[in-house]
Structure 1
Amino acid sequence: MLYTKLMLCALVLVIAEGTDNPCDTNICNNGGTCIHLYDDNVVCICATGYRGVTCDDEEFIFSGNSNDPCDPDPCENGYCKRLNKNTIQCVCDAGYSGRFCDVNPCDTNICNNGGTCIHLYDDIVVCTCATGYRGVTCDDKEFIFSGNSNDPCDPDPCENGNCKRLDKNTIQCVCDAGYSGRFCDGKYIRCL
């Protein structure tokens, strides 16, 4: 399975329901201005020098002080390619993306429980999970039936609940109150 960052269409953000004014959450960064469109949908109008859905990306503006827009080279982990007189493109080294090759999606440590992040392309990464874990971000414990016993509930893999045998090699954890997940290892907080 692949983990990917959420892409927002038409630069419209949807904020959690129930907010009286979605712009009160200050989602627009670097001096951007939040515009409330309708319901819980907003858009950020970015200040000069910034772009992106929440104005997080620095925008390259050619100052014209040199005949070469690649001098100095604005690309952090790659090289600058001149497309025309005032337009450049950064060609990123492997493992980096972003307009200035300044984004390594694996830097956010999305893989948990000893998992390893592998950057495939753009903002697409995949986690290789350590033994005993699975899932998009290696959050789920993996039950491995060793076959040393005739009972797949021995030892009991359910952390906060009881193991129920469904067939020879299949189990189901019946979680105690306040716990969830395949192995009852996730605590949840009840919303009031």
Structure 2
Amino acid sequence: MTSLSQLVLLPKYSELPGFVGMDPVAVHHRDEMMRYMCLDSFMMASMPMLAEMCVRLICSISAIMHDKALHCQCDPQGSISSVCEKVGGQCQCKSNVIGQRCNQCAPDYYGFGPNGCSPCSCNPEGSILSMCDQTTGQCQCRSGARGRQCDACHPQHWGFPNCRPCQCNGHSEECDPQTGTCVNCRDNTCGHHCERCSDGYYGDPVLGSGAQCRPCPCPDYPGGDNYHGVSCHADLDSNQIVCYCNTGYSGSRCDKCAPGYYGNPQVAGGKCWPCRCNNNIDVTDPGSCHPHTGQCLKCLYNTDGDHCEACKAGYYGNPLLRDCR
């Protein structure tokens, strides 16, 4: 389909005052119009520059037809100045602005205003046309595409232009529109597809497994005063839950203090603290300090005392610097 951008009406000038009749002036005017082919220029798609004689003659015709000279009527927002062409009244338009009065955006541009017009920038893979709504800039999107420029997937989809649904194992509907990584995973899940349990939970959250993420009993549950674990897993051989403990805790349920620590993590609010032995024990030795009282039991470097704070009998020096001799 061909679109019509301009319609030019050419008057029969030989019947107008100043051109009609056989008086010498009228004959001269008609001869000049023919000689310079003044009206032929208006039949071309791209109008060439008119000869000065044509400009004078056509201005005369216009004044006769309208009984006066016409105002330019340049739109102050879209034109560079208020002055227009003598022939035709074309105003000088700002960037990407068109129209005789400079009052509309050119094709593929929108947002007519004081700064001219902005490019539509419709995404060629997501839009039907390069043109957009000249007011809002909204492009015409293909099926599956959205956004002003038709450059994004619909919600719950990712991977433009090959948009596909987010796959989050039923624990989220949202994912990153570029990478497909699920966001806001529910039900204590995490991972690219919400396919694993968050730290502090165990189970198999993959869609169709029939399982869910349960809190780790280490020995309390996540958020409790006696939760001393980082994460846990279900040991299929023993059918037991095995905890991964925070520093200072040990045992399959993180209910004991690790070597080099003391306390009672099984009571409400109970914690494990580093044994205070002035750096004079082997913290990897389970018997180096009492697990409940913290009393130092295996002082090294010739030190002695409940906290290995003194040189043992027969030695002198600075026990805090491991300098008993």
Is TM-score (shorter-chain normalized) higher than 0.5?
no
User: Could you tell me the TM-score, scaled by structure 1's length?
Assistant: 0.28
Higher strand share: 1
Answer 1 or 2: higher relative contact order, Cα 8 Å, separation at least 6. 1
Scaled by the length of structure 2, the TM-score of the pair is 0.19
